[in-house]
Chain A
Amino acid sequence: MSRFKLPDLSIITGIVLGGGAVMLTLFGNPVNSGICISCFLENLAGALQLQDSVRMSYIRPELVGFLLGAFFMAKQNRRFRVTGGSSPLIRFFLGFFMIVGCGVFIGCPIKMLLRLGAGDLTAVAALLGMLFGIWLGGKYLRAGSVLDRAQNLPTINGYILPGIGFLLLLFLFLKPAFVQQGFSGPAAQHAPLWISLAVGLLIGGLAQRSGLCITGGIRNFFLFREKTLFSGVIAIFVSALMVSLVSGQFNLGMEAQPGAHHSHLWSFLAMVLVGLAAVIVDGCPFRQVIKAGEGDVDAGITCFGMVTGAAMVITWQLRSTSAGPVFNGQIATLLGLIFCLTVILSYRKARVKR
């Protein structure tokens, strides 16, 4: 009798992530964005009053769950390795611009897959943009453009981000006065705290074990035809599609799509930026959160850049609305692309000199 073989962990993670995200929308999260790192970070920035849109202010328990789930899993499996010191400022701004790109598209790479899984064809331009950005980033990697090597750091460095996660968890329960929460808009659309937290912890733990990353999976496939993480990415899409179909949330087309716009060129460019920045920084926004939980201080710096970006995306209007991209967002996208290419160019030169 042949032995029953479990699918690869990245596939399981993908299934839980895609299916769990759509389930969260059934429990109350905003439609098509059951899980979206950029939206969640915008909400977090609002909750901490780093931006002033009350309608976008809520400490998303899923986000805390991702961070702490990864932390617990890494500790449990002795994979909590504290490293850092690689190009911190560059990583900060790459994190910043990744969220700008997400803001202009209206969603991170996970949300892009969720939107596609729900039949939103406006996300196709974004998918093409991200594929192009990752492909281009892969070319640069092959040509030798890599950020500095990280080194081992004293353990306390690795505890700071999970510590912030615990603090945010405390804020969720204690509700101090300086934490604000919107009573209407996306902030009011959320699944019950315990469900969100449990799903976040589960996904965080699984993602730490499997190393699932949207951009990383596609990058590995482009570079080495390596399919492990890529299967996880496909699993996110397929499971989101299945749950959307079963739950009646599937709506194929370009019209009446929630949290979308029809400026396909800007969706494309915004996700080129996200894909490219993610390749340089080694991981999509979701992966950065997971890595920050497992002791990667560089990813922690990128997370700080992402939170700052999330706040500025709202305050400076560096984003899109359902009406399309705001001018500031278009300029910020272009600046982000310029920044990425400049970093790539300068690191290529640095390597050639060495």
Chain B
Amino acid sequence: MTSNNPLTARRNAQRETSPWAPLLGFIGVLALIFVLVFATGDHKAEPKLGIDLQGGTRVVLTARTEDGKAPDRSQLDLARQIIEQRVDGLGVGGSEVVVNGSTLVITVPGNDGKQARSLAQTARLYIRPVIDSQAAVQQKTDPNAPKLSEMTSEEQTAAIDAARAARQAPATADPNDPKDAQITRLRAEMAKVNCDPNAVDPLVGYDKPDEYLVACGQKDGQVYLLAPQIIKGTDVDKAKAAQNQTGQWVVQIDYKGDGKQTWVDYTSKNVGKVTATVLDSRVVSAATINSAIIGTTEVSGDFTQAEAEELANALQYGSLPLSFETSDAQTVSATLGLSSLKAGLIAGAIGLLAVLLYALLYYRMLGFLTFLSLILASAMVYGLIVLLGRWIGFTLDLSGIAGLIIGIGMTADSFVVYFERIKDEMREGRSFRSAVSRGWASARRTVWTGNAVSFIAAAIIYFLAVGQVKGFAFTLGLTTIIDVVIVFLVTHPMVVLASRTQFLSRPSINGLGAVSEVARKRRAAAKQKANAGEDAL
């Protein structure tokens, strides 16, 4: 009430919280972020970049189910694991496979990732009768042999063709004829195959199922001569790991469709013979048929529980109606990625500078505070992006950069709202100092409400939309949060400090001269009116 009284005014000022506390708090948090940036991970202040910024290949695989329903999450996870193993096989560091909704996204940085485009095939499972088997002859694995990823696609195709020519023979070959040239050739080949698990086998996943095949056992150290497939993995209905009466781990398989009858017919005619379960051109298990199998088939192979489960999973996976379709495959050359990154950074810098110039022109001293706030906000966002890249694998891509740049404007808006409220208060005739605290009270609410809406928008887009949209929504959501932090902990305290400094409160410095002028004129007019009224009396 009597705030004109200097004593009460001083007491009021003391009651206001010190603006230094939030400022120092913010600087502490910012310092902590950068300590974490440099003390954890690879100690480099570099965000994890998307392939559109560093070059590389990104493949989006969409799961397609037979009935068009959304695929089961566990099926997707399983697919991810299998595809991840294949990507690892390419030997490119920094590759990853993530599940995103009903899609799998494979990211392979650098120029060697083009092969990632062909990883989409379902794990290929076949049941093949075993014609012959023998212990694999130990071969020397050349550590310098080119990895698949180091071959050009042509070299790869050539390697696959060569392996097929060496280890496969057309279905017309006759294994019962000891003089059959093709079979003789394959038998000779059995001694030459390198079954070392570390050896590069270009044939993995690429064998022709309807031809004879020489294949290694996955873990039994055997090499097999196999007949053309009799049942495909897609004919597996269910597969699960279980323990039989003797406590051994086995895999129980139920076939469906044509495979079901084929299997009954085949097993009844071939009692005593061995059949192999072949997954991606490797023999997972080879077992003797003891009797005609009607119903569930038991595959026993000296499994541990984990192995049995893994095989059951693989069979189940191979049998899944879930197949993948390449929805979007993108290979960005490193040069293009780099220029995109440059473009984004230049645009960001120019944008920031333009905002600064405008703010200085329009708000003068307050514009300078805007700039300082924006710089601090940028530093915090940058640090967080680096950390989030490490912690939750957040990848900054082109659309994320766009989100950041657009975030500049939305962050600055909070300041505009605040400063305009200060102007409103001053137009009503208040001093700069009291306008600051009153303006803040109402601006604060607007900032909350506005940013809440922005955040809701970003969150919904992030969770519901696909692909590139996510990067954008993420950075926009992040800048929204940082915006609130900055306004509360940095901008407002700085404005309060400025309002307490005599120099900065000068209309020519704080840029609020015109508004003060309006207020002054209004007061004068009101006074005149009042005087005129008195005269009339």
Tell me, yes or no, whether A binds B.
no
